[in-house]
Amino acid sequence: MTDAATNMRLKLPIICFTLEIILIILFGAIVQYDHETDAKQWHSKNHSDYDNDFYYRYPSFQDVHVMIFIGFGFLMTFLQRYGFSSVGFNFLIAAFALQWATLMQGFFHGLHGGKIHIGVESMINADFCTGSVLISFGAVLGKTSPVQLLVMAMFEVTLFAVNEFILLSLLGTKDAGGSMTIHTFGAYFGLMVTRILYRPNLDKSKDKNSSVYHSDLFAMIGTIYLWMFWPSFNSAITAHGDDQHRTAMNTYYSLAACTLATYGMSALTAHDGKLDMVHIQNAALAGGVAAGTAGEMMLTPCGSMIVGFLAGIISVLGFKYLSTILEEKLKIQDTCGVHNLHGMPGVLGAIVGAVTAAVATADIYGEGMADVFPKVASGEVDASYQGGIQAISLAVTLGIALLGGLIVGFILKLPIFGAPPDTICFEDSIYWEVPGEEAPHDGQLTAVNTEETEKLSS
């Protein structure tokens, strides 16, 4: 790459160092250990060391962490020549976003006397916010530079925190697994960004916008990890006790039902009955997305399975029929199909959550109502009002996501950020030193290299 625009030699170091130094200064100024991580504060109270929330949140945190870095990272390695970027940019923007999210979320709902107090719960929340950015990354995958992605992450994290604050703190919405705050927000934000970044000549790179055999297997690592740990994701920050337990179990059954629906739909919609890896890799996860709001409620195992079953069907139909329409009619080039995996199932999850909230009764929840719907338990609002709040929250989320994506999309169009040319999208070699392909066993190295692709882009 001799193309000055996409050369990252100065651009990437400048943004990485600038952002990290700003983070370090802000952390130094306003971030402190909370009472569970501070040696003095923890020991100034009378409790057992085993009561520390570390033991009740950290295993969930680690599962979420795996979803963010392995799950999202490898899910996107399905492209034949974009594995380094998928895992590598996922790694970079996640490492930045979780630090920035600590500040933004702390600013909006963690301030104590002007200081942000942090512990395992803020770490989970930071990972959640990061997840939303990675969903948007899926929409623009292959068409953006790492500098663009860091800029997008900076703005998206900020808007995520604003939306989360409006929902959870101002409106009193329940959304433990983030059907709205994470999935709907991330998906529609990313879709709007990719709409603004529309490339009419993207078909010049279309030969690289597909998978090869092994890249699909790498992607399955991501899929399976997301699938397995989704019960931990949805339950990571619910109330302790029955709530965490129930949320994990609801999600487990929703995903299982979704998987059967996905396989059935994938065969049914293929002209020759053959399964499509795109569906398996993505739609089988829609059950986790759709259980993100109602998972902590008394959805029942059967109800969870119905939700997952519908989510799987919707998601496959989206991949099969809607994606083409979105691209051709609305000019939305959604590389990973986040609309089908996170967008529609997120909206479904929000609706299921609103309905489930609206029908909550003291007879079903008993004393447990205070954990799930504190305002309903205290008599401040009734259940149907809570349901209405949930529905309004979906509208708010969609509005902020679309408006935010619109603005951020235009910012990302600035040529200084080094976006790849249309001819060389979905291609690692523009931003990475790429080694040759497999050496055959006779010891003769395949001396194929990146020269031709470089010619194309120069």
Site for a second copy in 129-148 (CB under 8 A): 146
Residue nearer to a second copy on the CB measure, 270 or 395: 270
CA distances, 253 to each of 232, 266, 351 (Å):
13, 20, 19
Q: Which stretch binds a second copy (CB under 8 A): 88-96, 153-161, 162-170, 394-402?
A: 88-96
Q: How far is the CB of 248 from a second copy (least distance, A)?
A: 7
**Looking at beta carbons only, is 399 or 436 nearer to a second copy?**
436
Residue nearer to a second copy on the CB measure, 74 or 155? 74
Contacts of residue 227, Cβ cutoff 8 Å, sequence gap at least 6 = 255, 259, 284, 285, 288
Q: Minimum distance between the CB of residue 300 and a second copy, rounded to whole angstroms?
A: 7
Beta carbons of 449 and 436 less than 8 angstroms apart = yes
- Which is closer to a second copy, CB of 194 or CB of 453? 453
Q: Minimum distance between the CB of residue 358 and a second copy, rounded to whole angstroms?
A: 16
Find the binding residues for a second copy in span 308-327 (CB under 8 A): 309
CB of 326 to a second copy, least distance (A): 21
Cα–Cα distance measured from residue 397 to residue 276, given in angstroms and rounded to the nearest whole number: 32
**Contacts to a second copy from residues 18-57, by CB under 8 A:** 19-20, 23-24, 27-28, 31-33, 36-44, 48-56
Distance CA 138, CA 135 (A): 5
Q: What span, in angstroms and rounded, lies between the C-alpha atoms of 278 and 319?
A: 8
Give residues 367-386 in contact with a second copy (rule: CB under 8 A).
367-369, 371-372
Task: Kindly write out the interface string for residues 98-117 of this chain, putting x where it contacts a second copy by CB under 8 A and - elsewhere.
Answer: xx------------------
How is residue 13 written in tokens? 């170091």
Q: Rank residues 396 and 428 by Cβ distance to a second copy and give the closer one.
A: 428
Extract the tokens encoding 275. 């399964």
Nearest to 424 by CA among 201, 101, 255: 201
Q: Mask 143-182, x = binds a second copy (CB under 8 A)?
A: ---x------------------------------------
Question: Of residues 325, 364, 395, 414, which one binds a second copy by CB under 8 A?
Answer: 364
C-beta separation of 429 from 210 below 8 A:
no
Distances in whole angstroms, Cα of residue 325 to Cα of each of 41, 80, 198, 315, 328: 57, 24, 14, 15, 5
Provide the CB-side half-sphere exposure for 340 (13 A, CA): 29
Q: Does 399 bind a second copy (CB under 8 A)?
A: no
Q: Identify the H or E element spanning 313.
A: helix 301-317
Scan residues 420-449 and list those touching a second copy (CB under 8 A): 429, 431-443, 445-446, 448-449
**Single residue of 88, 374, 388, 421 touching a second copy by CB under 8 A:** 88
Q: What is the smallest separation between the CB atom of 131 and a second copy, expressed in angstroms?
A: 14
Residues 59-78 that bind a second copy (CB under 8 A): 59, 62-63, 65-66, 69-70, 73-74, 77
Contact 184, 49 (CB under 8 A): no
Strands 115-118 and 31-33, bridge-based pairing? parallel
Task: With CA atoms as reference, report the closest residue to 295 among 258, 327, 337, 338.
Answer: 258
Instruction: Work out which of 111, 112, 203, 302 binds a second copy, going by CB under 8 A.
Output: 302
Query: What is the distance between the alpha carbons of residues 124 and 110, in angstroms, rounded to a whole number?
Result: 13
What is the sign, positive or negative, of the torsion defined by CA atoms of 97, 103, 107, 110?
Answer: positive
State the minimum distance, in angstroms, from the CB of residue 359 to a second copy. 14
Q: Of 192, 265, 348, 351, which one interacts with a second copy (CB under 8 A)? A: 265
Residues 270-289 that bind a second copy (CB under 8 A): 270-277, 280, 284
Q: Which of the stretches 170-178, 189-197, 305-313, 406-414 binds a second copy when contact is defined by CB under 8 A? A: 305-313
Binding span for a second copy by CB under 8 A among 156-164, 186-194, 298-306, 407-415: 298-306
Token reading at 34: 């909370």
Q: Among 112, 201, 203, 268, which residue interacts with a second copy (rule: CB under 8 A)? A: 268
Phi, psi angle pair for 425, to nearest 5° = -80, 170
Structural contact between residues 353 and 179, judged by C-beta atoms closer than 8 angstroms: yes
What number of chain residues touch a second copy (CB under 8 A)?
158
- Per-residue binding letters, 215-254, with a second copy (x by CB under 8 A): -xxx-xx--xx-xxx--x------xxxxxxxx-xx--xx-
Q: Select 328 or 367, whichever has its Cβ closest to a second copy.
A: 367
* 3-class SS string, 330-361: HCCCCCCCHHHHHHHHHHHHHHHHHHHHHCCC
User: Whose Cβ is closer to a second copy: residue 59's or residue 399's?
Assistant: 59
Distance separating alpha carbons of residues 254 and 235, to the nearest angstrom: 14
Q: Which helix (H) or strand (E) holds 444?
A: none
**3-class state of residue 116 by DSSP:** strand
Question: In DSSP terms, which residues pair with 112 in a beta bridge?
Answer: 115
Task: State which residue, 146 or 405, has the beta carbon closest to a second copy.
Answer: 146
